[in-house]
Amino acid sequence: MHRRSVRQGGGVRIDLHTHSSVSDGTDTPAALLSAALAAGLDVVALTDHDTTAGWGPAEAARPPGLTVVPGMELSCRWFPADEPPISVHLLAYLFDPLHPAFVAERARLREERLTRGERIVTALAAAGHPVVWEQIVERSAGGVVGRPHIARALLEAGVVASVDEAFGTLLHHRSPYYAAKADTDVLDGITLVRAAGGVPVFAHGRARSRGRVVGDAAIAAMVEAGLVGLEVDHPDHTPEERAHLRGLADAHGLLTTGSSDYHGTNKLTPIGACTTDPAQYEALLAAGTGTAVLAD
């Protein structure tokens, strides 16, 4: 009943960016799909950071009527000529999960997350903060450790009052405890995703609230490398940032997406907070050849 009334009211609802407990969300893949259904979504993409480990559990738990798009968010960097590298996130959909070079790069990134996470936690512990690396690794289901795991440990130890406060203080990229990870060059990332039959989409590309963002020339270079889409409607984008990205998408012939970037209780955003236009979703499906959507 609920789903039917949603359809009548607003057509097909599509959220193309979510994180489960396989990376730094708090819902298991099964719980995430339940949340998607309860929110009236018809299509949801599972896009955990640097891993496809949630795809199997999602396939096993998929409720009838809900379409699941297998995806991922690849940790990347853009290297400007005259300033330090800028962190960029690349969404990848419908790629072959067994493509060897892409498998190897994901494994390298997860290893990088472990060494870098340990560096941050060791520095925090040396300064007297009650965090223990082994306990933080234990709470990451798939070995995909990120700052949200450290933030939750700080929250539970009473050091901060919220995950958000941890990101604004001890885990901020300008904090003395911060360490960067050696992410994939985004042009190489785009090439890999395309080689694996996938669809690369630049995630939250203009969200200045998250830190430095790349300029339009970088996006042009990404298009040259094979970028297919821009994530436009994202909770971290202002109306002006969305308008700018929509203009770039028009100019370069890119598809546009909208999504929540849901992380369970690690962020305040509910699943389905932003959605993708069905015609754009159809274009994305047509561009992906590495694997199929999970559907009835």
Q: What is the smallest separation between the CB atom of 292 and ligand AMP, expressed in angstroms? A: 27
Q: Residue 276 CA to chain centroid, in angstroms?
A: 15
- CA dihedral 90→92→98→102, nearest 10 degrees, is -20
Residue 261 binds Zn ion (CB under 5 A): yes
Residues 6 or more apart whose CB falls under 8 angstroms from that of 176 comprise 123
With CB cut-offs between 5 and 8 Å by kind, which of Fe ion, ligand AMP, Zn ion, none does residue 93 bind?
none
Q: Site map for Fe ion, 80-119, x if CB under 5 A?
A: ---------x------------------------------
Residue 28: other Cβ atoms inside 10 A: 18
Per-residue b or e along 87-104, where b marks 16 or more CB atoms closer than 10 Å to that residue's CB: bbbbbbbbbbbebeebee
Question: Which tokens is 176 given?
Answer: 């003395």
Q: How far is the C-alpha of 101 from the C-alpha of 95, rounded, in Å? A: 12
Residue 183 binds Zn ion (CB under 5 A): no
Closer to Fe ion by Cβ: residue 89 or 242: 89
Q: How far is the C-alpha of 81 from the C-alpha of 133, rounded, in Å? A: 36
With CB cut-offs between 5 and 8 Å by kind, which of ligand AMP, Fe ion, Zn ion, none does residue 48 bind?
none
Residue 27 binds Zn ion (CB under 5 A): no
Closer to Fe ion by Cβ: residue 55 or 202: 202
Give the strand pairing for 255-258 and 86-93.
unpaired
CA angle 260, 229, 270 (to 5 degrees): 0
Closer to Fe ion by Cβ: residue 42 or 76: 76
3-state secondary structure of 46: strand
Closer to Fe ion by Cβ: residue 42 or 228: 228
With CB cut-offs between 5 and 8 Å by kind, which of Zn ion, ligand AMP, Fe ion, none does residue 267 bind?
ligand AMP
The stretch near Fe ion (CB under 5 A) out of 179-187, 198-206, 245-253, 269-277 is 198-206
CB of 195 closer than 8 Å to CB of 102: yes
3-state secondary structure of 11: coil
Q: For binding to ligand AMP (CB under 6 A), which residues are involved?
A: 24, 49, 146-148, 163-164, 167, 263, 266-267
Please report the sign of the dihedral spanned by the C-alpha atoms of residue 284, residue 46, residue 156, residue 176.
Answer: negative
With CB cut-offs between 5 and 8 Å by kind, which of ligand AMP, Fe ion, Zn ion, none does residue 163 bind?
ligand AMP
Q: What is the smallest separation between the CB atom of 179 and ligand AMP, expressed in angstroms? A: 9
Which residue has the CB atom at the shortest distance from Fe ion?
89
The stretch near Zn ion (CB under 5 A) out of 53-61, 68-76, 149-157, 225-233 is 68-76
Binding site for Zn ion (CB under 5 A): 73, 261
Residue numbers at the binding site for Fe ion (CB under 5 A): 24, 89, 203
